[in-house]
Amino acid sequence: MFMKMRMLVLGLCVGCSSLWAAGVSYPNKPIRLIVAFPPGGSTDIIARLVAQRLGEQLGQQVIVDNRGGAGGTLGTEIAARAAPDGHTLTMGTTSTHVIAPAAYTTVKYDPLKDFEPITLVASTPYLLVVHPGVKASSVKEFVAVAKSQPGKLNYASAGTGSTTHLAMEMLNAAAGMNVVHVPYGGNGPAGTAVLGGQVQALFGSMPAVLPHAQAARVRPLAVGTDKRSPALPNVPTVAESGYPGFEVSLWLGFFAPKGTAKPILARLEKELTAIANSPEMGALFEKNGASPLTTTPNELTQLMGRELQKYGKVIKAAGIQLK
């Protein structure tokens, strides 16, 4: 029975791809873009900006479908199981395609095997900030303060196993200090905690902490990216502050379910690369604390492979294990 069904499904798929070959146009219905986070967050905003332009280019509406939950793994799993016909895509990020699979034992998808990477569109830096009460204006001074009173300082994160958590654990390991992790339920509450001085530091996502840094409510010490951010040209990178090789950023890209036809993927790559590199989109990204970043599918696969290793090590060293 199941065998028969499988044959039927297989037959249908073959039928579809031959239809494709016969020149049935893609897309022939609205495209669903799964965003594995609730509306309003930075991933959602970038997705919506790109979705609108992509829809114009393809002549079909691109509908953002927010499937938040379980740290982005819920929606990503749905995308992995969707029909590979190019009408379901997902916005994958460092969180959904690297950190969650590395940290959670229960993730039901394989970031490398279940998806066709298309291209990245943007990346957002992480910014290390401290409460103004902390007597440090550089990473070096911060490390000195932390070491002079071991186990006294705390840092906030957007949640256990989030990028904001891992970034600080990487710095803890690199500097040999012990700033204690205090998890909060998201970037917003974590930011509030540093503003109020409840905790002393946060390695927060740029869109969430930049306004507070600009208003001098928190003091920016360094960005986690390999280059300085145009939004804060005077703030050094962690790497140039004495920890060469340190790099933490959040990338956002488009993925299709495994088995999506090559011509469809090529078309999407072409359109998305053009959109992400257009000056208008660049300006919109910048307003949201992101900058354009595009890759070929191959480069994206390699990047994921490297990062899965890198963060896997951090997770193991910090003893983070999530179920």
Rounded to a whole number of angstroms, the minimum distance from the CB of residue 8 to other proteins is 25
Q: In the window 6-65, what residues touch other proteins (CB under 8 A)?
A: 38-41, 44-45, 48-49, 52, 65
Residue 6 CB-half CA count within 13 A: 3
Contact 111, 304 (CB under 8 A): yes
Compute φ and ψ for 209, nearest 5 degrees: -105, -15
Q: In the window 206-265, what residues touch other proteins (CB under 8 A)?
A: 207, 210-212, 214-215, 217
Determine, following the binding rule CB under 8 A, whether residue 195 of this chain makes contact with other proteins.
Answer: yes
Span interacting with other proteins, options 82-90, 114-122, 152-160, 298-306, rule CB under 8 A: 152-160
Nearer to other proteins, 229 or 241 (CB): 229
Which stretches of the chain are assigned E, i.e. beta strand? 31-35, 62-66, 88-93, 115-130, 154-157, 180-183, 201-205, 219-223, 249-257, 291-292
Helix (H, G, I), strand (E, B) or coil at 63: strand
Nearer to other proteins, 30 or 151 (CB): 151
Nearer to other proteins, 193 or 238 (CB): 193
Sign, CA torsion 206/249/64/158: negative
Determine, following the binding rule CB under 8 A, whether residue 160 of this chain makes contact with other proteins.
Answer: yes
Determine, following the binding rule CB under 8 A, whether residue 297 of this chain makes contact with other proteins.
Answer: no
CB neighbour list of residue 258: distance below 8 Å, 6 or more residues apart: 80, 84, 113, 114, 115, 116
Determine, following the binding rule CB under 8 A, whether residue 70 of this chain makes contact with other proteins.
Answer: yes
Nearer to other proteins, 261 or 281 (CB): 281
Q: In the window 88-107, what residues touch other proteins (CB under 8 A)?
A: 103, 106
Nearer to other proteins, 65 or 240 (CB): 65
Determine, following the binding rule CB under 8 A, whether residue 151 of this chain makes contact with other proteins.
Answer: yes
Contact 204, 190 (CB under 8 A): yes
Determine, following the binding rule CB under 8 A, whether residue 184 of this chain makes contact with other proteins.
Answer: yes
Determine, following the binding rule CB under 8 A, whether residue 312 of this chain makes contact with other proteins.
Answer: no
Nearer to other proteins, 233 or 245 (CB): 233
Burial of 196 (0-12, 13-18, 19+ CB in 10 A): exposed
Nearer to other proteins, 202 or 265 (CB): 202
Contact 256, 118 (CB under 8 A): yes
Determine, following the binding rule CB under 8 A, whether residue 161 of this chain makes contact with other proteins.
Answer: yes
3-state secondary structure 241-307: HCCCCCCCEEEEEEEEECCCCHHHHHHHHHHHHHHHHCHHHHHHHHHCCCEECCCCHHHHHHHHHHH
Site of interaction with other proteins (CB under 8 A): 38-41, 44-45, 48-49, 52, 65-71, 73-74, 77, 103, 106, 108, 151, 154, 159-161, 180, 182-185, 188-189, 191-193, 195-199, 207, 210-212, 214-215, 217, 284, 287-288, 320, 322-323
